[in-house]
Amino acid sequence: MVKSSANIDPLTGKLYVARGHGYIMNMATAFYGVYHQAPYECQGFINEENEYLDRKEAFAEAMKCGQIIEDTYGNQNLYSEDIWEQIEDRFYELPATEKTKQIAEEVVSKYGRKQFTETKERIRRAMKVILADSYFDKYLKESLKDLDLPEFKLEEKVLKVKKKSYPIKKIIKEYIELKI
Protein backbone atom coordinates (compact mmCIF):
# COMPACT_ATOMS: atom_id res chain seq x y z
CA MET A 1 0.00 0.00 0.00
CA VAL A 2 1.25 3.49 -0.86
CA LYS A 3 1.68 5.46 2.38
CA SER A 4 2.90 8.93 1.40
CA SER A 5 4.58 11.14 -1.17
CA ALA A 6 8.38 11.23 -1.03
CA ASN A 7 11.12 13.28 -2.65
CA ILE A 8 14.72 12.17 -2.91
CA ASP A 9 17.28 14.81 -1.99
CA PRO A 10 19.51 14.79 -5.09
CA LEU A 11 22.63 15.64 -3.06
CA THR A 12 22.29 13.02 -0.31
CA GLY A 13 19.77 10.41 -1.44
CA LYS A 14 17.76 10.80 1.77
CA LEU A 15 13.98 11.00 1.58
CA TYR A 16 11.72 13.84 2.59
CA VAL A 17 8.15 12.66 3.14
CA ALA A 18 4.84 14.55 3.32
CA ARG A 19 1.39 14.58 1.77
CA GLY A 20 2.37 16.20 -1.53
CA HIS A 21 5.60 16.81 -3.44
CA GLY A 22 5.25 20.60 -3.37
CA TYR A 23 4.72 20.54 0.40
CA ILE A 24 7.82 18.41 0.76
CA MET A 25 9.93 20.99 -1.04
CA ASN A 26 8.50 23.81 1.08
CA MET A 27 8.82 21.97 4.39
CA ALA A 28 12.39 20.79 3.71
CA THR A 29 13.30 24.41 3.09
CA ALA A 30 11.58 25.54 6.28
CA PHE A 31 12.87 22.73 8.51
CA TYR A 32 16.45 22.58 7.31
CA GLY A 33 17.06 26.04 5.88
CA VAL A 34 18.15 24.57 2.56
CA TYR A 35 16.49 25.00 -0.77
CA HIS A 36 15.18 21.56 -1.60
CA GLN A 37 14.52 21.05 -5.28
CA ALA A 38 13.33 17.71 -6.56
CA PRO A 39 13.14 17.15 -10.30
CA TYR A 40 10.50 14.78 -11.61
CA GLU A 41 12.90 11.82 -11.40
CA CYS A 42 13.23 12.40 -7.62
CA GLN A 43 9.51 12.56 -6.92
CA GLY A 44 7.88 9.33 -5.84
CA PHE A 45 6.20 7.66 -2.91
CA ILE A 46 6.87 5.30 -0.01
CA ASN A 47 5.00 2.13 0.85
CA GLU A 48 4.12 0.78 4.30
CA GLU A 49 7.67 -0.56 4.70
CA ASN A 50 9.10 2.91 3.95
CA GLU A 51 10.54 1.66 0.66
CA TYR A 52 10.86 4.29 -2.05
CA LEU A 53 8.72 3.74 -5.15
CA ASP A 54 8.99 5.81 -8.30
CA ARG A 55 5.70 7.01 -9.82
CA LYS A 56 5.27 3.91 -12.01
CA GLU A 57 6.03 1.48 -9.16
CA ALA A 58 3.68 3.42 -6.87
CA PHE A 59 0.94 3.32 -9.53
CA ALA A 60 1.25 -0.48 -9.78
CA GLU A 61 1.22 -0.82 -5.96
CA ALA A 62 -1.83 1.46 -5.58
CA MET A 63 -3.73 -0.48 -8.28
CA LYS A 64 -2.82 -3.83 -6.70
CA CYS A 65 -3.97 -2.66 -3.25
CA GLY A 66 -7.17 -1.05 -4.53
CA GLN A 67 -6.16 2.48 -3.57
CA ILE A 68 -6.97 3.57 -7.13
CA ILE A 69 -9.17 1.89 -9.70
CA GLU A 70 -8.22 3.74 -12.89
CA ASP A 71 -5.34 5.51 -14.58
CA THR A 72 -6.47 9.13 -14.19
CA TYR A 73 -3.84 10.61 -16.54
CA GLY A 74 -3.34 7.65 -18.88
CA ASN A 75 0.40 7.30 -18.24
CA GLN A 76 0.54 4.70 -15.44
CA ASN A 77 2.14 7.21 -13.06
CA LEU A 78 0.79 7.87 -9.57
CA TYR A 79 0.22 11.45 -8.44
CA SER A 80 -0.41 12.61 -4.87
CA GLU A 81 -3.83 13.85 -5.89
CA ASP A 82 -4.84 10.30 -6.88
CA ILE A 83 -4.63 9.15 -3.25
CA TRP A 84 -4.73 12.51 -1.44
CA GLU A 85 -7.21 11.47 1.26
CA GLN A 86 -5.39 8.20 1.95
CA ILE A 87 -1.87 9.46 2.58
CA GLU A 88 -0.18 10.76 5.71
CA ASP A 89 -0.50 14.42 6.57
CA ARG A 90 2.85 15.08 8.25
CA PHE A 91 6.43 15.87 7.26
CA TYR A 92 9.44 13.74 8.17
CA GLU A 93 12.75 12.48 6.85
CA LEU A 94 14.01 8.96 6.11
CA PRO A 95 17.62 7.87 5.58
CA ALA A 96 19.05 7.23 2.15
CA THR A 97 18.96 3.71 0.74
CA GLU A 98 21.06 2.20 -2.02
CA LYS A 99 18.16 2.74 -4.42
CA THR A 100 17.66 6.41 -3.51
CA LYS A 101 21.42 7.10 -3.58
CA GLN A 102 21.62 5.62 -7.09
CA ILE A 103 18.69 7.74 -8.32
CA ALA A 104 20.26 10.84 -6.72
CA GLU A 105 23.58 10.16 -8.45
CA GLU A 106 21.86 9.73 -11.83
CA VAL A 107 19.94 12.99 -11.39
CA VAL A 108 23.05 14.97 -10.37
CA SER A 109 24.90 13.45 -13.32
CA LYS A 110 22.09 14.49 -15.67
CA TYR A 111 21.52 18.05 -14.40
CA GLY A 112 24.84 18.90 -12.71
CA ARG A 113 25.57 19.38 -9.02
CA LYS A 114 25.31 23.18 -9.20
CA GLN A 115 21.59 22.86 -9.99
CA PHE A 116 20.95 21.50 -6.47
CA THR A 117 23.32 23.47 -4.27
CA GLU A 118 21.78 25.96 -1.93
CA THR A 119 21.94 29.72 -2.42
CA LYS A 120 20.57 32.45 -0.20
CA GLU A 121 18.47 33.83 -3.03
CA ARG A 122 16.82 30.46 -3.69
CA ILE A 123 16.11 30.04 0.03
CA ARG A 124 14.64 33.56 0.24
CA ARG A 125 12.33 32.89 -2.74
CA ALA A 126 11.30 29.49 -1.39
CA MET A 127 10.54 30.97 2.04
CA LYS A 128 8.24 33.55 0.41
CA VAL A 129 6.28 30.72 -1.18
CA ILE A 130 6.17 28.81 2.09
CA LEU A 131 4.99 31.75 4.15
CA ALA A 132 2.24 32.50 1.65
CA ASP A 133 0.95 28.95 2.00
CA SER A 134 -1.71 28.75 4.69
CA TYR A 135 -1.29 24.98 4.79
CA PHE A 136 2.22 25.58 6.10
CA ASP A 137 0.76 26.68 9.46
CA LYS A 138 -0.86 23.29 9.95
CA TYR A 139 2.37 21.38 9.18
CA LEU A 140 4.37 23.71 11.38
CA LYS A 141 2.04 23.36 14.35
CA GLU A 142 1.90 19.57 13.97
CA SER A 143 5.69 19.39 13.79
CA LEU A 144 6.17 21.56 16.87
CA LYS A 145 3.56 19.69 18.95
CA ASP A 146 6.17 17.17 20.06
CA LEU A 147 7.88 19.96 22.01
CA ASP A 148 4.92 20.10 24.42
CA LEU A 149 4.75 23.88 24.27
CA PRO A 150 1.74 25.60 25.82
CA GLU A 151 -0.64 26.83 23.08
CA PHE A 152 0.45 30.48 23.42
CA LYS A 153 4.13 29.49 23.08
CA LEU A 154 3.30 27.35 20.05
CA GLU A 155 1.59 30.31 18.35
CA GLU A 156 4.52 32.53 19.30
CA LYS A 157 6.99 30.08 17.76
CA VAL A 158 4.95 29.74 14.56
CA LEU A 159 4.94 33.53 14.20
CA LYS A 160 8.66 33.64 14.93
CA VAL A 161 9.38 31.21 12.09
CA LYS A 162 7.12 33.11 9.70
CA LYS A 163 8.38 36.61 10.55
CA LYS A 164 12.09 35.89 10.72
CA SER A 165 12.15 33.21 8.03
CA TYR A 166 14.50 30.90 9.82
CA PRO A 167 14.27 27.16 10.00
CA ILE A 168 12.31 25.18 12.55
CA LYS A 169 15.50 23.31 13.34
CA LYS A 170 16.81 26.51 14.92
CA ILE A 171 13.67 26.88 17.05
CA ILE A 172 13.98 23.29 18.24
CA LYS A 173 17.62 23.95 19.11
CA GLU A 174 16.56 27.06 21.07
CA TYR A 175 13.95 25.02 22.87
CA ILE A 176 16.46 22.38 23.88
CA GLU A 177 19.08 24.94 24.96
CA LEU A 178 16.76 27.37 26.78
CA LYS A 179 14.16 24.83 27.96
CA ILE A 180 11.37 27.28 27.07
Quick one: pLDDT at residue 2?
96
Quick one: pLDDT at residue 96?
96
pLDDT(108) > 70 = yes
Higher model confidence: residue 93 or residue 163? 93
pLDDT(172) > 60 = no
Quick one: pLDDT at residue 127?
59
Buried b (16+ CB within 10 A) or exposed e, 54-77: bbebbbebbbeeebbeeeeeeeeb
Quick one: pLDDT at residue 178?
47
Instruction: Look up the pTM and report it.
Output: 0.69
- Strand order, beta sheet including 92-94: 52-54, 43-47, 2-8, 15-18, 92-94
